[in-house]
Amino acid sequence: MLNDDDEDLRDISATTASWILSYSSVSPDKAVALSPMPASDLLAEFIASNYTASSCLSRDAIRRITGQRIKTYASGSCKKLVPVSDLLSEYRKESTVLFVEEKQNLFIDDVREVDIWARALSKLESSAYEGAWVRELSQWVSDGLSCFIELTNTAAGRDALLGWTSKPETYTLGVRVISAAAVLASKDFPAERYLADDKTTLKHKLCSLLESGRAASLHEQWLSRIESAIAL
């Protein structure tokens, strides 16, 4: 509700969130009166810090980072993550639609949401993670990095100003992959026991993407995020 298009609803939600967050674990010494965006940030921090062992929260954080539903315990109830290569191909198609359908929610900032929930995912306890979800996310990220590396090593992958990463959906997809890679490759990731050699592979692919991305004049924000991910 803090991300709703309706300004009045956002304001009501911010008031409610402020009441919850006042004198809480994220604001122990004072009451807070927050506007919607800061309330959204702090509420996510509150949830992550108070439900650190929640498997539901880890699954939902992965869903929010990837922008997709993930496989659940009920076999066949949800499809696996759509490969990055398929999403990228779809986003790079030239639209022939005469009238573009308005997005359901214009207020929400997908990149900001990725950042919020990537931070939350890093704060959970090891017990909150289920091995199948972590491995599926790791494979999705690894294949995504490979897709970007392969593309940036071709003539079609040349980017620069107003290049292929400037399309909002494509840019956000890259942020999703890089941010998830940063979480998984971090030395502090709580569920690294499920990753085996994946952490090393992800780090190598991030370094490869940084190298090929620089040569292809990849979006500066992508390069900055890759550098930060490698530093972690």
Q: What pTM value is reported for the model?
A: 0.91
Amino acid (1-letter code) at residue 170: T
pLDDT at 172 over 90: yes
Residue 219 near residue 160, CB atoms below 8 Å: no
147 pLDDT higher than 90: yes
The model's pLDDT over 60-98, given as tens digits with 9 standing for 90+, comes to 999 999 999 876 544 444 468 999 999 999 998 876 655
pLDDT of residue 30: 95
pLDDT at 76: 45
Higher pLDDT, 227 or 78: 227
